[in-house]
Amino acid sequence: MLFDLTDLRLFILIAELNSLTRSAERMNLSLAATSNRIKELETRFGTRLLYRESKGVQLTPAGQTLLHHAQLFMQQVEHLKSDMQQYNNGIKGYIRIFANTTAVTEFMPEILGKFLAQHPQVNVALEERLNHDIMRGIQEGTADIGIVAGPVQGDGLEILNFSTDRLVLATALEHPLAGAGSLPFVDTLEYEHVGLHEGSTLHHFLNRIVSEGGQRLKLRIQVRSFEAMCRMIETNVGIGIVPLSAAQRHQQTMQLAIVELSDPWSVRERSMVFQDIDTLSPHARGLVDFIREQMAQPAVDDGKVSAIADAVKKKGVREKKSA
């Protein structure tokens, strides 16, 4: 070991006070012990760290570098102490989740709200990641649970399907596609789209679909949430591909038409991923079971979207007549 925490604290203090004597007093060390610690640091790093002058000491360039890293290191130590203190304050569990955009913005906030209300001694970190980053995070052990949509492969990982997700087209009521009962994604590409931000799972997924077909997505604007997407779509800035759950929720407060996509990939399995469910902490296993219970509902009815689209079409016709 090149140093210990006392060495770092002492060195930071010397840099602040520019004095070995005052630093020794502040650390309750003798001047000789302080001087020896600095000499040992210089020997271990193989370079001078301090210039000794008549008015005190100054850091060498190497000393400046050590100071920078020492300050960062001590900040991390304080963060560690703070994080560990929570266990003394009654926190008994910590679960880290990597999830795709739909999970983070649509259903996980409600599920986690209920779960945490029932488990006040558990803390959860929920982070939005792309599918491949989610899988890598589980493989490397940096996350306990991953939530993905669509086909995924994870050698040595457990993949548990827990519900079905459907992507649909959302448009303004007056848009030419608003009355379509069902259409393929390719028929939307001649129109301008509203999309999610670059780092979202849905953005990457749709870009891959378009690239494979040798075409291009005409993105008029990109935003950070499905709510923002639907607001832009409502004002006819463009059309957009969103999860059915998001479209239905925002349709309650916005003037939107929902159109079914006929592409097979529009229906996607939602899955939870982990290294081994038997090795998860009791709280993490409890959350897995809780998610399955909360999401246990019939798969999306294929005729439901068309029925919604027909209703919206009739609504639009009535509104135009009354106008």
Whole-number pLDDT of residue 82: 65
Asked whether residue 75 carries a pLDDT value surpassing 90, the answer given is no
**What pLDDT, on the 0 to 100 scale, is given for residue 195?**
96
**Per-residue pLDDT for 313 more than 70?**
no
Q: In this structure, what CATH number is given to the domain that contains residue 51?
A: 1.10.10.10
In this structure, the answer to whether residues 226 and 170 fall within a common structural domain is yes
pLDDT of residue 87: 64
Mean pLDDT of 94-100: 93
Reported confidence tier of residue 86, pLDDT bands at 50, 70, 90? low
Residues 189 and 251 in one domain: yes
Q: Which positions ≥6 away from 76 have C-beta within 8 Å? A: none
pLDDT band (50, 70, 90) for residue 319: very low
- 38: pLDDT strictly greater than 90: yes
Q: What is the pLDDT of residue 322?
A: 38
Q: How confident is the model at residue 65 (pLDDT cuts 50, 70, 90)?
A: very high
Same domain membership, residue 143 and residue 69: no
CB 321: neighbour CB atoms within 10 A?
Answer: 7
Summary mean pLDDT of the chain: 87
Q: Are residues 286 and 158 in the same domain?
A: yes
Q: Give the pLDDT mean for 189-203.
A: 92
1 has pLDDT over 80: no
Q: Which amino acid is at 69?
A: H
CATH at residue 176: 3.40.190.10
* Mean pLDDT score, 223-234: 95
Same domain membership, residue 231 and residue 309:
yes
* pLDDT at residue 222, as a whole number: 96
* 240 shares a domain with 314: yes
Distances (CA, A) of 153 to 54, 132, 308, 319: 67, 9, 34, 48
Half-sphere exposure for 272 (CA within 13 Å, toward CB)? 21
Q: Which residue has the tokens 């001047």?
A: 31
Say yes or no: 263 and 173 in one domain. yes
> 171 and 155, same structural domain?
no
170 and 263 both lie in a single domain: yes
Give the end of a domain, one of 39, 72, 88: 88
In the chain, the percentage of residues whose pLDDT exceeds 90 is 64
Of 193, 181, 203, 188, whose CA–CA distance to 303 is shortest? 181
More confident residue, 117 or 301: 117
Question: How many domains are there within the chain?
Answer: 3
pLDDT of residue 93: 82
Q: What pLDDT does 117 receive?
A: 96
> Do 10 and 100 have their domain in common?
no
What average pLDDT does this structure show over 194-199? 90
Query: Which residue, of 60, 88, 116, is where some domain finishes?
Result: 88
Token duo for residue 212 = 């494979």
Sign for the CA dihedral angle at 150, 151, 156, 160 comes to positive
Please list the alpha-helical segments (H only) found in 162-279: 201-212, 226-234, 244-251
Q: Is the pLDDT of residue 140 over 50?
A: yes
Task: Please indicate, yes or no, whether residues 193 and 252 belong to a single structural domain of this protein.
Answer: yes
Predicted TM-score (pTM) of the model is 0.63
Averaged pLDDT for residues 58-65: 94
Confidence of residue 2 (pLDDT cuts 50, 70, 90): low
Q: Indicate whether 40 and 100 sit together in one domain.
A: no
pLDDT at 194: 98
Q: Which long-range contacts (CB under 8 A, 24 or more apart) does 129-132 make?
A: 129/98, 129/99, 129/100, 129/201, 130/100, 130/199, 130/201, 130/204, 131/100, 131/201, 131/204
Give the residue-averaged pLDDT of 161-178: 95
* CA 114 vs CA 35, 146, 292: distances in Å: 57, 19, 13
- Span 27-42, mean pLDDT? 93
Contact 315, 322 (CB under 8 A): no
Which parts of 28-60 fold into alpha helices (H)? Answer: 31-45
Domain that holds residue 315: 165-267+303-322
